[in-house]
């Protein structure tokens, strides 16, 4: 009897590989997607989106003094206690999920469209402002980049800048 379940399983698996489902779109689904992780990283091995930002101060001569580009989502080191209470890693996963959704929105946007009109752009810009306010309390301007990184087991092999934001004045 169990052999039939195994055969049925492989038939369903084969059907899912052959039959492509349409992409479901709509404003109501867009509002619900924050509850679901972006699973696109399972489709292929390759470039992964990463967010970098920098801050500057305006000098007396009117020139920007920029800090170095910083990776805004460094991985946290695992701990035994994280099995029971781990709010920082959960917040970091939600932030990385936002970056994944932003990458998907940029990828799906028509050529030549302004990414600043995307809700995910505005959310990422707000996230960047919050992080930079903590790290650089006196900064007056900020900028961020979405970079696609291709890594192997030891190092980053290739980097492609997908989008650089315009310089934003701290409000």
Over residues 11-22, the pLDDT tens digits come to: 888 887 787 777
Domain assignment present for residue 11? The answer is no
Domain assignment present for residue 22? The answer is no
Phi-psi region of 26 (alpha: psi -120 to 50; beta: other; left: phi over 0): left
Nearest one of 139, 159, 141 to 150, comparing CA atoms: 159
Say which residue the tokens 């800048």 belong to: 161
Domain hosting 158: range is: 41-169
Domain assignment present for residue 82? The answer is yes
The tally of domains found in the chain comes to 1
Domain assignment present for residue 32? The answer is no
Average pLDDT across the chain, whole number? 83
* Residue pair 72/131 in contact by the 8 Å Cβ criterion: yes
CA distance linking residue 170 with residue 156, whole number of Å: 32
Domain assignment present for residue 127? The answer is yes
Over residues 112-168, the pLDDT tens digits come to: 899 999 999 999 999 999 999 988 888 888 999 999 988 777 887 888 999 999 988
CA distance linking residue 144 with residue 82, whole number of Å: 30
Residue 171 pLDDT = 66
**pTM to 2 decimals?**
0.69
Domain assignment present for residue 27? The answer is no
- The end-to-end CA distance of the chain, in Å, is 67
CA distance linking residue 64 with residue 43, whole number of Å: 41
CA distance linking residue 113 with residue 91, whole number of Å: 30
Domain assignment present for residue 24? The answer is no
Domain assignment present for residue 2? The answer is no
């Amino acid at each position: 009897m169990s052999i039939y379940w195994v055969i049925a399983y492989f038939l369903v698996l084969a059907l899912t590989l052959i039959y492509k489902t349409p992409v479901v779109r709509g404003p109501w689904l867009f509002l619900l997607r924050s509850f679901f992780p972006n699973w696109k990283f399972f489709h292929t091995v390759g470039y992964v989106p990463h967010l970098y930002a920098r801050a500057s101060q305006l000098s007396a001569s009117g020139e920007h003094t920029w800090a170095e580009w910083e990776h805004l989502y460094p991985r946290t080191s695992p701990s035994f206690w994280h099995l029971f209470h781990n709010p920082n890693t959960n917040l970091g996963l939600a932030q990385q999920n936002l970056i994944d959704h932003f990458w998907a929105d940029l990828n799906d946007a028509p050529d030549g469209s302004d990414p600043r009109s995307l809700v995910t752009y505005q959310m990422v810009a707000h996230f960047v402002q919050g992080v930079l306010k903590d790290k650089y309390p006196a900064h007056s301007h900020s900028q961020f980049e979405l970079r696609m990184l291709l890594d192997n087991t030891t190092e980053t092999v290739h980097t492609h800048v997908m989008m650089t934001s315009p310089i934003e004045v701290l409000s």
